[in-house]
Amino acid sequence: MSDSRSVTSRRNELIALVEKNRDAKREEILQAARVEAQRILKTGFAEARKRVTEAIGKERRIKTLVENTVLARKKTEERQQKLQESQALLKESREILKNVLIQRWKDDTAREAWLNFVTEQAMRFLPQGEWQVVSPTELSQLDMAHIKSRIKQNPTSPIMFTQDAAIEAGLKIGCNNAWVDGSLAMLMADSNSIDAQLLGLIDESGKKS
């Protein structure tokens, strides 16, 4: 009897030991699984955070690029519009200047000053010889007398007065194929200089307004 109980007791002890070892092993496995799960989660979160950060950075770069592109396009459009406006104002200003000069040629006092200037330049730069004075239409007797009186210090050959319809205003004086050109076309010929001065006047007028 005692042997039977002894065998049973040992069997129970072995079973208990096996179950204890099994529980310990299971707990060890579960703990290892938890650790691995935490590691996986941590790695996953880190990767996810990295991807989100990269996505946000990329989105920001794209947004910045779009904003810069829109801003650059806007500035280009503004420059183009300003250039178009300036060109339109320049064209109008050139026409105004041209008309003003034509009106000055028609004004007796202003025309006299114009004749004086061109005649003085001719006296300085033209050689002696037969002078030719070319004007848009036939000069008045007063204008011709005025020119002759201005060049009386150079009593060479008689002065020949001719007309050229291509001249809108002003006059040219020539001698031996050398010319002093005081025509409207020549006064307006230096477009770069004229445009620069006109733009200065436009800017000044814009600041005052």
Over residues 81-128, the pLDDT tens digits come to 776 777 787 888 888 889 999 999 999 999 999 999 999 998 888 888
pTM (2 d.p.): 0.56
CA distance 4 to 13: 14
Q: Could you tell me how many helices (H) and strands (E) the chain has, helices first?
A: 5, 4
CA distance 45 to 67: 32
Mean pLDDT (whole number) for 123-135: 88
The whole-number pLDDT of residue 29 equals: 61
CA distance 13 to 20: 10
The whole-number pLDDT of residue 82 equals: 72
CA distance 194 to 209: 22
The whole-number pLDDT of residue 152 equals: 67
Of 133 and 151, the structure prediction assigns the larger pLDDT to 133
pLDDT at 202 over 90: no
**Rounded mean pLDDT of the chain?**
78
Domains of the chain, residue spans: 1-106, 107-192
For 126, 154, 170, the CA distances from 177, given in Å and listed in that order, are 10, 18, 19
Among 35-44, 103-112, 157-166, 198-207, the range scoring the smallest mean pLDDT is 35-44
Among 51-55, 78-82, 110-114, 143-147, the range scoring the smallest mean pLDDT is 51-55
The whole-number pLDDT of residue 45 equals: 56
119: exposed, middle or buried (C-beta count within 10 Å: 0-12, 13-18, 19+)? Answer: buried
Of 19 and 196, the structure prediction assigns the larger pLDDT to 196
**SS3 call for 135:** strand
pLDDT at 23 over 70: no
Residues 6+ apart with CB under 8 A from 79: none
CA distance 104 to 109: 8
